Amino acid sequence: MKEAKLRDIDHRAFQRRLGPILAVYAAAMRPPAEQLPGRHTIMDRHASYPRFRAVVAERRGALIPLGGTLQGFGYGFAGERGQWWHDVVHGALAEIGGPEHAAHWLDDSFEVAELHVHPEHQGQGLGRRLLGTLCEGRPERTVVLSTLDTSPETPARRLYRSVGMIDLLTGFGFPGGGPPYAVMGAALPLAAYEAASSSP
């Protein structure tokens, strides 16, 4: 199969692709079907957040429907007070490390909200390419995200460690229930990509 190319898309193109994007999310995360409409609503709202950026991996062609060959995607935005994830994590970081600790990680942060690769295309470096492209050139000081905290660690968590992300919270339960998460963060630019881009 021809390798998909990575493409930046704006919020309007992202919203037009929400069907295929949600299908990749469902295949990768396997959530209960009744949760998908709510996830659709959340993703649609995220597209209106400040400095929103989305990257998709898809094959294009005259006979291919929009998003019909989507292999993976990632998106994020500038974290700000008043955003649910930002406020919950800010409170937790302040509780364990004080307000300065929370401010260091979140007051000028790029929040990677979702990063998923369809299972048929995992293990080929696509997640790493999506993450690097998504974070490249961002103006924020830090990048933060949450990922499942399991034993053994997921491939996603190992990927985040490999580009210099560290654990900020572990075994963290978000309000409303669900599995434990790790909140991770790193300074921008990501060290692995800074080194690659500066090579002669």
Which residue ranges make up each domain of the chain? 5-198
Residue tagged 């649609």 (tokens): 44
- State the 10-residue block means of pLDDT for the chain, 200 residues long: 82 95 95 95 97 92 56 97 98 98 98 96 94 97 97 93 96 93 97 54
> Residue 69's pLDDT is what?
84
- Cα–Cα dist 67/181, whole Å: 30
- Cα–Cα dist 83/109, whole Å: 12
> Residue 26's pLDDT is what?
96
Strand order in the sheet with 53-58: 5-9, 53-58, 70-78, 109-117, 142-148, 181-187, 166-172
Query: Which pair of tokens denotes residue 9?
Result: 């898309």
pLDDT in tens, 143-191: 999 999 999 999 999 999 999 999 999 999 999 888 999 999 999 999 7
**Out of 3.20.20.140, 3.10.180.10, 3.90.1300.10, 3.40.630.30, which CATH number does the structure's domain 5-198 have?**
3.40.630.30
Contact (CB, 8 A) for 127 and 156: yes
